[in-house]
Amino acid sequence: MEWWQILIFFLGGLVVFLLSGFPIAFSFFFMNILGMLVFMGVEGLQQTTLHISSSLATFTLSPIPMFIIMGELLFHSRIADDTLNILDRWMGRVPGRLGLLASVSGTVFAATSGSSMANTAMLGTALLPEMRARGYSKSMSVGPIIGVGGLAMLIPPSSLAVVLASIGQISVGGLLMAGVIPGILLGFMIGLFIVISAWVKPSLAPPYATSKTSLGEKLFLTVKYFLPVCFIIFMVIGLIIMGLATPTEAAASGAIATLIVTIVYGRFSWAMFSKAMKGSLEITVMILMIIAASKTFSSILAFTGATSGLLNIVRDLDVHPLLVLLVMQLILAFMGCFMEAISIMMICLPVFMPIANMLGFDPVWFGVLMLINLEMGQMTPPFGMLLFVMKAVAPKDITLEDIMLASVPYVLFDIIVIAMIIIWPEIALWLPGRLKSG
């Protein structure tokens, strides 16, 4: 069999299984079994158990469950509500006040939780009713929330960044830190866009009188409710930047810090804890099963020569590496319209990473571009996950079409940031560089 026939066999077969609705993990396992039987014989099958073991029993995957525990604890303890409340008091009378509040709080929450769905649902539930009651347009109500919702995937603690780093054999700490500045940049661009839009066209977000809070009270509430969130963020991002902890250690300290904050603030109950642990286990097992299956998939692709065949073709193409990069980004963006992030990651990484390495791309830089693209895929129609999350929390008068239209500017911001990182890689690589030198 030629390498391209093998590649079509594997990727085509996988896509058929996935589209049939068979769970992602089992689809990968099935293709692995077929591939082993066809190309390696029974000896290959005998190696499966050891392959699974070596795929999962890896310390680099350890941050995944702990980042998830952190997000679940924050989500179920409703500590974020207090943060939202205090940020609201600091906003004053800026144009597009509630939209700006969504962008600032969304960026802050992204630094405490790895779930973009939870981030979007939480902001949507908390802010949408008030935005609509204050006469905000549909686009100004829904757009900012969708725009910042996805940042959770980019700014640490991001479980998907750990998965991407682990499968793509990229430095976990490097990739986590590389997402910080692009994430903040996106949050800033979204905030700026909201203020300018509301300033130019006030009917989008009519100004309204807010209740006065004295500076003393604001400072007191900030110390009381915002500092704990800063403490959690510090325990993850701060410790990694300062070189005091590895990503796994930072994840553990973040999870423990979150647990301590829930206890200190009287939000701990066994029911809440049990719900958070159940949620954490569900997501952890779901992700790790997919990793167990897909790592073997990558090995089979390499063993059969499909990967090297593809690499030879790309090497022989007389085109600029940037063109290859753009094609890969377009493929990711296209797939993002139809599939969710983890499937795309698992299908594309075994093919894309060897190409990226061969072309001499910095793996951390390439990983960040991929993460932003996957984040963008969550809000691109027709199947962007965040569009459906927003529909589920939005009032009845907001249709799916309204939500899709509202998300357009924020998709453009993602594209702009991708372009900026391609042109100025330092945007993504400066912080990981500091990490190495520190």
C-beta of 390: minimal distance to other proteins in Å?
A: 9
C-beta of 393: minimal distance to other proteins in Å?
A: 6
Q: 349 with 164: CB under 8 angstroms?
A: yes
29 binds other proteins (CB under 8 A): yes
Among 33, 221, 359, 405, binds other proteins (CB under 8 A): 33
Residues 240-299 that bind other proteins (CB under 8 A): 245, 248-249, 251-253, 255-256, 275, 277-282, 284-286, 288-290, 292
The encoded tokens of residue 25 equal: 């993990």
Alpha helices for 40-78 (secondary structure H): 42-46, 48-56, 63-77
How far apart, in whole angstroms, are the C-alpha atoms of residue 79 and residue 262? 7
The encoded tokens of residue 380 equal: 């691109």
356 binds other proteins (CB under 8 A): no
Among 48, 85, 213, 222, binds other proteins (CB under 8 A): 48
C-beta of 278: minimal distance to other proteins in Å?
A: 7
Residues 60-79 that bind other proteins (CB under 8 A): 61-62, 65-66, 69, 75-76, 78
**Among residues 249 and 362, whose Cβ is nearest to other proteins?**
249
How far apart, in whole angstroms, are the C-alpha atoms of residue 421 and residue 268? 41
112 binds other proteins (CB under 8 A): no
The encoded tokens of residue 338 equal: 């139809």
**Among residues 147 and 279, whose Cβ is nearest to other proteins?**
279
How far apart, in whole angstroms, are the C-alpha atoms of residue 258 and residue 262? 6
393 binds other proteins (CB under 8 A): yes
Positive or negative: CA dihedral 21, 23, 29, 33: negative
**Among residues 76 and 97, whose Cβ is nearest to other proteins?**
76
Among 45, 196, 227, 416, binds other proteins (CB under 8 A): 45
How far apart, in whole angstroms, are the C-alpha atoms of residue 184 and residue 205? 23
319 binds other proteins (CB under 8 A): no
* 361 backbone φψ class: left, alpha, beta (φ>0; ψ -120 to 50): beta
The CA–CA distances, whole Å, from 108 to 149, 195, 368 equal 11, 18, 19
Residues 194-213 that bind other proteins (CB under 8 A): none
